[in-house]
Structure 1
Amino acid sequence: MSDAALQLGEMLARAMATGSGGGIASAQVIDLTDLGGVNVSLGGATVYDVPCPDSYRSRKVGDWVAVRTGAKPVVMWRLGEDPGETDHDTIRELADEVAHDVQIVRAATWGTAAPSGTGWQQTTVPFVRKVDGKVELYFQLASITDPSPTVPPSRPPNPVTVTPDSSGSWRGGRPDNYRDHPYQGDYTGGGALRGGWFYGSKIAAACAGKTVASMVVTFTRQRGSGANAKRPMHLYLHSYTSPPAGQLNLGDGPEDLLQLSVGAQGTAKLPAAWCTALASGSARGLAIYATGSTDYAAFGGGSIKITFS
């Protein structure tokens, strides 16, 4: 529980004790956190790491929620329309995806005699192959008495999630070994920090021979680094497969795709040009960089979900 949350909780608890406050207040979600809670705007103050019940599903930034005030504020439920229709559509999409991944043969039998019943065709030569991990069968017939079904349209390859092999921070042209996560900015005047995530050749390997539809990256704003309020990530590309011994030189950028408050976890879709560069191997990973103390912050995560078309 953050100091801000405790202070606000104590203030609200005192108000309730004197009869001037209520037990439930509405708040708006400003970020989802890596601990399963949310950061909310409540009564003009930002409260961090507010826990949520399991029943509060499909959480997203911008939700209005009911918060039980007190020494430890807790989200009770989401306000607004019933999300049932949205959940229904999501379930149908998942069911359709699973169904297309299943290969069905109604029956498989054999014996020394010809099969009984009608509609059978005699196979002279069977062929088999594997495409995208799925088995395809083709039967060459001596003669056709029943037309062949059409070949189902091919589906895109399944998405792939690539995680960093390593990460780190650089200052003054060399690695800053005192920091556990990638940092950006300069909080103390010691020089601007830059951070990087390194994937080896995994991104290009995952994209080889495929057409990339999108790349979505996930980051988490680390606690104890700069102001608790939202700060933008100033993202760049880099061309390193592993951390350099000297300066981490930056490629294309910056792109400010995400703004996160402390403890928040968020996703961002990478620009199409960046997807092309990463898929081809002309870029290898992601970096952050900022000057001054305003956007000083540390970030973790860095997994990239790649979808194909």
Structure 2
Amino acid sequence: MGKRKVLVVGGTGYLGRRIVKASLAEGHETYVVQRPEIGLDIDKLQMLLSFKKQGARLLPASFSDHRSLIDAVRKVDVVICAMSGVHFRSHNLVMQLKLVEAIKDAGNVKRFLPSEFGMDPSRMGHALEPGRVSFDDKMRVRRAIHEANIPFTFVSANCFAGYFAGNLSQMGTLLPPTDKVTLYGDGNVKAVYVDEDDVATYTIKTIDDPRTLNKTVYIRPPDNILSQRQLIHKWEKLLGRELHNSCLSEHDLLSSMKGSDYATQVGIGHFYHIYYEGCLTNFEIGQDGEEASELYPEVKYTRMDEYLMIYLEA
């Protein structure tokens, strides 16, 4: 397949910087939006300059300047938005809708990948508040894309390993426990864990693939479809000992939302849908979807036992 001109919006973010790297690695002419709002954030500036050293081109553009967005979009074939979806509310929603409007007005984009990369929002209409708002917002962006007749690919990357695997899916920490661990329910509900670098690699693979045009691509590597118990067992094998475990009931998990701050309530709701409902694996991929590891068997994705090894003490 041919090389593309790719614009990454949110290129300094957690996933965005990996997408920039993956795009460059595939030989695409890669552009990264440089927003004046960066201000005195020296870390972001130095990251942008490092992209430039690696061969990316920086494009000044602002969400408060519609013309600058159109000018940036007109230089490329593909636009990938990787703005953080952790708190997708209001500000990010407005920016994504502005980006959709700019892509519509530019009229030249062959593929747009909006900022999703988690659970499929089209399957989360029943989600608990307050976390449901992030899925509702993503659906608003999808509707805007459809209404503007913009060619798209939606990417559902399931559980980022850095947030869900390295900590054995324990809330309130990013490190794996070495003594005791909490199981959600019986710990046997299957989830899907994906290394973030693999998310970026698969994402870039989709951008010029006719099989993914106007479809949702689910990143579901078969060896990474694991229950929480299976994930914990991988860590126990690496440690060489078993952890003490206790089971958290559905009732107790949901009860813990009361009195919690907004971000904690969102996280608890997401954990409920993943580890009690099984929302990542309780459906078959239909005609409007594709599975990434089947499309791109040449990608040697990271298995979770490999991933967990980095957390072992030297």
Using structure 1 for the length normalisation, give the TM-score.
0.23
More strand by share: 1
More helix by share: 2
Q: Which has the larger radius of gyration?
A: 1
